[in-house]
Structure formats: structure tokens, C-alpha cells
Amino acid sequence: MYNVAIIGHKGVGKSSLCMQWTGHEFSPSYCATLFAEKHELAPFVLVEIPAITRFAKNLEQYYANTDIFVLVVNQDCRTLPLFEALSQEYKEASWLIVLNGPEKFPKCRSYVSKRDIYMVWVDLKKNKGVAHSFELLDELSKRHQKRPESFNLIQDVYLWLPTCY
């Protein structure tokens, strides 16, 4: 398994990207993510990190175990403060910048092109680029050693129980 943290500001499309990667259609409704939400999509464990961290706990633990950060952006900007802050502390992680929306993002593209970061454009509302973004995530995962599968005690307990006839 590979640990992926999906980060970004409020309303940029983190939940929508995660849902579309797991096979769901785009939904125009919006509901703020309050807690870190975990989705398993082999070989990835996707953790959607809320933009408002007032209720979220142990974010540093998620970050420390992250193999790939996926930073979702929906406005063109000259700098990416989340990348600046987290890339300095978690140097072993890879990065995928997802530019979400119909615009061209020239400032973001210029910023990213000067660094060793993967970048992809998507339009989540129109389901454009979503498959390609997942392909890039898969490509990035090859830079990291696979983590062991998580241990599921409930599932494994049945193997230990004697079979009754």
C-alpha cells in the first residue's frame, strides 16, 4: 500500500477528486470535510485532509506517513504555500499538483516547472483529466517502497477459529 494525503484549501475539489478516483460521478453539491477521511483504493490508502483543521487530530501523523502528497489547486497563483511548508518538513514524499478548473493556470505552471514536482490539469466538473491524474499518481508511487498491507483483526480472526461441523 502507498499512503496518499490529498490536501488543499477549502472548496478546491479534494473530495470530488477522491470520489472520482474511486469510481463515483461528479456531484455539484458541497459539504466541507471536517475530519481526515480515509479511502482504500488498492494499492493506495487515500487520506483526504480537511482544509479547516479545527476538528482534525493527528494530522502530523498522517503527514509523516505520507508517500505522496496530492495538492489540489483551483486558482492560479505565483506560490503554493502548502507545498512550501510541507515539502520542507517531509522531504521523502513525492508531490502531485492537481490544477482543477477550466483556466490555464500560467502562474502555477511556471512555479511547478521550476521544481521536481509532477503536475496535471483536470476539470472535475467535466470529468476531464481524472484518469490521467490517477495514472500519474500510480507512476509517482513507483518512487516509493510499498508499505505492508494493514492488519485487519476482524478478518483474520476467522482463520484462527476452529471449523465446527
Residue 18, pLDDT score: 92
pLDDT digits (tens, 9 = 90+) for 3-42: 999 999 999 999 999 999 998 888 777 777 777 888 889 8
pLDDT digits (tens, 9 = 90+) for 113-131: 999 799 999 999 999 999 9
Residue 56, pLDDT score: 62
pLDDT digits (tens, 9 = 90+) for 30-79: 777 777 888 889 899 999 998 877 666 778 888 999 999 999 999 999 99
What is the average pLDDT across 77-97?
A: 95
Instruction: Say whether pLDDT at 85 is over 50.
Output: yes
The C-alpha atoms of residue 11 and residue 152 are separated, in whole angstroms, by 33
Q: Tell me if 165 is assigned to some domain.
A: no
> Buried b / exposed e across 117-141, counting CB within 10 Å, b at 16+?
bbbbbbbbeeeebbeebbebbeebb
The answer to whether residues 76 and 50 touch, using CB atoms and an 8 Å cutoff, is no
Largest distance between two CA atoms of the chain:
69
123 bridge partner residues: 128
The answer to whether residues 70 and 17 touch, using CB atoms and an 8 Å cutoff, is yes
Q: Tell me if 120 is assigned to some domain.
A: yes
Please report, for the domain that includes residue 82, its CATH number: 3.40.50.300
- List the domain range (segments joined by +) for residue 128: 2-160
What is the average pLDDT across 135-158?
A: 72
The C-alpha atoms of residue 40 and residue 50 are separated, in whole angstroms, by 17
Tally the domains of the chain: 1
Q: What is the pTM of this model?
A: 0.86
